[in-house]
A = this chain, B = another copy of it.
């Protein structure tokens, strides 16, 4: 079902500048794709009517005329928000858009609709299916955003990650997914889940568009490819490191390593001590404790309508004592600094598994975020590279990881790899 779409945001801007296209062209294309595939993929919670395309004035922006999907846990003033609840909690429209929506609109982006989220971006799945195999999960929690981008319904879609909610669905759906350094883009107007880790990110079908969105949202410089990767030190390390990998994931990691070596990089196993493996457990403590605080009002009034897993998490969090929560946060904080020293001295980038394998069968669950929990708690930028196929031709991604605030370096490395 996937049809490759080679148009990048930059090339669309170039077409507009040469008057080879018009502002609404991409909007119309996306609407047509949605009309064709949405019944199967079910990526959207709400879609803007075709004829109500936003009017744009200036033409100098980075995202002029670019349709974007906005995850359903992000406030929008002109569209409803349901936070993946299926409607037991519903806002007909927020007082104002979430801040990131305004930042996107300022750059000329046009909000095409709200994409399906799992319940409050936790585990209870929405209706979305994996475009590569409709019987499989697209992953979560940013299910609709990953699937919509994969199905060519939209070139760019927002996601959020608190455990593995961007990297995992990107891996399952075969698209690029980027979780920048924690706190890079404002979370204002987005439903919090575990505020020490909640991070806004995005999906695209190529690395160029991932970079353009980063430049647009940070008002930062354009990210260029390097001539090659000579001198770049790539450390291989999964979090946790003590698990047997699925052969599909092994192959994806090997392919990525070889590709990096072809560009001149040096790839070697990165020794990180056992404290790093404990991050997975610390992540679960912080997640449960913070979710139980953050969603206390929703739990108070809607516990009976909530999914079982969410109720379990919240009640587990209510039983965690403050001292244990604090201990996990302090452990993570110490490892953030320890990892910075590793990046200073031993490596430039880490190569790791994005997910335990290809997208699991069934729509009853969204897969396991285990390989993302530790990195998310560390706040480091993570990028899913959709380079490999596993069993049945299904996508298997790998992730590249840099130190906090090295996002530009990470994106530049990936861009080089795709040059």
Contacts and interface: CB of A to CB of B under 8 A. Distances in A.
Interface of A: 77, 89-91, 95-99, 101-103, 106, 183, 185-189, 191-192, 195-196, 218-220, 290, 293-298, 300-301, 321-323, 326, 329-330, 337, 405
B188 A293 contact: yes
Contact of A192 (B186, B218, B405): B186
Tallying the copies of this chain within the complex gives 2
Contact of A297 (B96, B191, B195): B96
Given A186-B290, A219-B321, A220-B321, A98 B297 contact: yes
Contact of A99 (B97, B183, B295, B322): B295
A298 to B, nearest CB: 6
A172 to B, nearest CB: 29
A103 B188 contact: no
29 contacts: A89-B96, A96-B297, A96-B298, A97-B297, A101-B297, A102-B297, A102-B300, A103-B293, A103-B296, A106-B296, A106-B300, A183-B196, A183-B329, A186-B192, A186-B195, A186-B293, A186-B296, A187-B192, A187-B195, A188-B191, A188-B195, A188-B293, A188-B295, A189-B297, A218-B322, A219-B321, A219-B322, A330-B405, A337-B337
Contacts of A290: 186
Given A196-B183, A330-B405, A294 B188 contact: yes
A103 B292 CA distance: 10
A296 B321 CA distance: 37
A77 to B, nearest CB: 8
A98 B300 CA distance: 12
Of the candidates A183, A298, A322, the one having the most CB atoms from chain B within 10 angstroms of its own CB is A322
A321 B326 CA distance: 33
Nearest to A300: B102
Contacts of A98: 297
A189 B189 CA distance: 9
Given A195-B183, A405-B330, A296 B220 contact: no
Nearest to A95: B91
Nearest to A105: B300
Among all A-B residue pairs, the 3 with the closest Cβ atoms: A96-B297, A186-B293, A218-B322
Given A219-B321, A321-B219, A321-B220, A294 B99 contact: yes
A194 to B, nearest CB: 9
Contacts of A186: 192, 195, 290, 293-294, 296
A289 to B, nearest CB: 10
Contacts of A102: 296-297, 300
B96 A301 contact: yes
Contacts of A297: 77, 96-99, 101-102, 189
Contacts of A195: 183, 186-188
Contacts of A337: 337
From A95, A219, A321, residue with most partner B Cβ within 10 Å: A95
A336 to B, nearest CB: 8
A329 B405 contact: yes
A310 to B, nearest CB: 15
Contacts of A101: 297
Contacts of A192: 186-188
Contacts of A326: 405
A98 B293 CA distance: 10
Contacts of A298: 96
Contacts of A300: 102, 106
Nearest to A75: B297
A329 B293 CA distance: 26
Nearest to A192: B188
A311 B297 CA distance: 33
Contacts of A103: 293, 296
Nearest to A337: B337
A79 to B, nearest CB: 14
